[in-house]
Structure 1
Amino acid sequence: MVRNPLTPEERERGERLGTLLREARGDRTMTEVAAAAGISAETLRKIETGRAPTPAFFTVVALAAALGLSTDTLASACAHPCEPQPLSA
């Protein structure tokens, strides 16, 4: 199976996700956060640097939990600036 190339928008979204995760990690090491999320440090490195801009859903959920972030926070931070944001209830 051949994977379609990522669009520029998908790459930008991956970069926004990586930046958010890196900032949320703060002083903790990649190894600490990766272990808490149940993923490898190399996987976390690829996500943070944008080399894996479309990580699996459960990987993102595990990282959010390990970093104390809500999935809503991740979704809104990674949405394209021109995309409509959901209204708060």
Structure 2
Amino acid sequence: MVRTPLTPEEHERGERLGAILREARGDRTMAEVAFAAGVSAETLRKIETGRAPTPAFFTVVALAAALGLSTDAIASAAAAAPLREPLSA
């Protein structure tokens, strides 16, 4: 199966998602948050750096729960917020 290339907007949305997660993680380590979410630290690193701009829905839900964020807040902020605007919960 060939995956269609992502649009620039999809890449930007992935970068915003990564920024939101990094901000919410605060001073906790990637390993701590990844363990709490049941994902690998490498998966979290790829999402936070934008190298995995379209993570699986269940991965985002698990990270949201581990970080105390609502999926609605993440979706709204990642879809519409400028890249440098902080997430207000």
TM-score, with normalisation over the residues of structure 2?
A: 0.89
- Sequence identity, in percent? 85
Instruction: Give per-residue Cα distances to partners, 1:30-63, cap 9 Å, x unaligned.
Output: 0000000000000000000000000000000000
Partner in structure 2 of residue 80 of structure 1: 80
1:47 paired residue number: 47
Q: Which runs of 4+ in 1 moved over 3 A?
A: none
State the 1:65 CA deviation. Answer: 0.1
CA RMSD of aligned residues (A): 0.7
> Could you say which structure has the greater relative contact order, defined with CA pairs below 8 angstroms and 6 or more residues apart?
2
Tell me how many residue pairs correspond in the alignment: 81
Deviations 1:11-38 (A, max 9, x none): 0000000000000000000000000000
Distance 1:32 1:80 in 2: 28
Gaps of 5+ in 1: 82-89
The amino acid of 1:74's aligned partner reads I
Q: Which runs of 5+ in 2 are unaligned?
A: 82-89
